[in-house]
Structure 1
Amino acid sequence: MSDSLPSPAPIPWRDAKRHAWLLSGVFPGLAWINVWQADRSGHMGWLWLMPGIMYTAIPLLDWLLGEDRSNPPDEQVPALEADRWYLGVLLLFVPLQFGLTLHGAWLAVHGGLGLVGLVGLVLTVGGINGVAINTAHELGHKHAAWERWLSRVVLAPVAYGHFFVEHNRGHHRRVATPEDPASARLGESFWAFLPRTVLGGLQSAWQLERQRLAGRGHGPWHWHNECLQAWAMTGVLYAGLVAWLGWAVLPFLLVQAAYGAQLLEVVNYIEHYGLLRQKGADGRYERCAPEHSWNSNHRMSNLFLYHLQRHSDHHAHPARRYQALRHFEQAPQLPSGYAGLLLVAYVPPLWFRLMDRRVMTHYGGDLARANVQRSAWRKLSRRWGAAPAG
């Protein structure tokens, strides 16, 4: 008779972040509470609380809580993706976003805020509508038609509906190449990148829809044009708010939309800065791999952004739901979460000092392997000892 004890039963895997994901879903609700408090009390400090959280509290918590590099077991991924709890968290964002936007629009017209209050209101409402582009991003990659439709609804307040077309069919095909308007180049400042990506994204989205509709025998102004459909949603929303509140609301809507859109673009700037897919002998770019996206596992930013910072796995599996995205050791790692890098990206000398060495380390000091801003090549080649471009 054996004296050995039976092996203990394996402990079932559970997502330790299951309930923490609510931070993403209720984010606009937290901002809406601040708007309610400002409306009720007349204290404009409430309208500056959300920008303070975005630019200060979240980066500080990222630093204090550190990284989470854990991945779900492969065998658990199908059940994790099928769990409707996570979809519910995602959908919770949408009514709270629109409630905040409507209340914010009313307060902009009738609140008597003054300049300081109006700026705080723009940063609060525009900031959440900028974050909402990430919610639209998550919905827009899914196979269900209703999720893809809802993605365009979420983009309406920020007037960036063409993102649905360009990101899914343009950026994912051209990512980490000089041809991609959403992939920043080494030595390119955010302020040089911003007009290039905004105009390039618009042109790309329109051209993609022109080509798609031409294949169906339609012109670009056909009502099936997904850019036109998305922009029409913004038109209906803005027209409804103007009918309700008068023309005085329109400047607020446009300024908050511009601020929200640049939040998307500064994140785009961070995600692929300087990274390049190499060309093979046939002249075609290599397949997108983990090393072509900057990643971050900082806990707080990831919880507020639906794991957007696990960007490599997203590019490998665009339809994979946020809760199942994985960390890859071979992916280049950012020194902070996105929230901690936003203000740094606005100051080119700080950004270049922080990130250029990381790009060059990633490529073993070989400048020719990076995606380089051509106007910056000579300066970068002198700094890193590379041969001038031919």
Structure 2
Amino acid sequence: MQQHMDEAARIERARQLYQALAKGDREALDALLHPEFTGRTTEGLPFGLGGTYQGANAMRREFWGQIAKNFIAQAQPTSFHGLDDGRLLVQGRYTGEARNGGGRLDAEFIHILSFADRKINGLSQLTDSERWVQASVSGAPPLPQALRTLTFDVQDGLATICLNRADAHNAINAHMADELCIVAGRCANDLSIRAVLLLGNGKSFTVGGDLAFLSKAKDGELPGLLRAMTGPYHEALRTFSRLHVPIVAAVHGATAGGGLGLMYCADIVVAAENTKIALGFGALGLSMDGSNSWFLPRLVGMRRAAELYLEGRVLNADEALDWGLVNRVVPLADLLRNARASAERLAEGPTQAYGEVRRLYRESLGATLSEQLGAETEALHRTAATTDATDAIASFIGKRKPVFHGR
């Protein structure tokens, strides 16, 4: 089972997979893939390639085989990262060209591989389907990404991520955890993104974990389900926290439990007047996840953090502002406009400098003064070498408004 494979073994299996695909080695693929393999690929891929493939044979013939029929392409992994639940996140690029002369293919991918019996038994893929379509058919219109619980859009350097389970108050289930992990990776690898805006559709930002989903667990299954969800979700939080661009979160209604982790990742948090912030874990007999134990003591202090958990305190928007959990409170009707305006301003700013400061703030929490002074010197050196810094200083001297390009 996957828990018996260490990260090095999982990475080696993944490398073997990509080598077998590059060579078209059917025997190697048969040896690597579990008989109960399931592949989930991006909706909107050309030639009807997006969807779910049950079984190793179906994936090999109907997906990889059809790609080989229509493209001269290769999946080139660039990084491997083990998730807490035993899966493996692989980032890389598809490169090549369409066989029909449609054009060159250059598209990022993120794969999440799962394992059983020391074989690969699942692959979930996210890639830019528009790039595949453009390579296969000149002038084809953009098509949506294969996301079931989120919406994701990048316009003019601003990435907008919206939790989209409004009927469940954006409760985080296994699908949302996976998709947040995938989208966070996209944000980390898309150099055109200069700011991120986090939103929640419907009446709540997010109520945290999906209790309706967890309540269906049979005896003894709950620990495994929670581990499977927290693995990719925590990886998403790690990735968002490390992004080299600023994040704005717009929260409203119920904002609770592990879902607070998305709020913590943001640099600017705008809260609607109807926001209610709570942990809620204690009432369920659970400890906590979603980085609550790391961020809360640092943001509100140990006493208040204990009060939130032990006494089940629910904060309204003004209290959250007073405690330092949000930056400002606005009427619900103004929330989206206010948060988007803030994110758009940040996207037009010196994002190289923003990224350095983001890292300095995060790393300062575990650094000595001497270490932090050294880090500031190095960061200042890097930002001084940017075009943004040179142009901004010249604009200041010339009494002109600077225009930043994020480089």
Under a length normalisation based on structure 1, what TM-score does the superposition of the two structures give? 0.29
Under a length normalisation based on structure 2, what TM-score does the superposition of the two structures give? 0.28
Greater helix share, 1 or 2?
1
Greater strand share, 1 or 2?
2
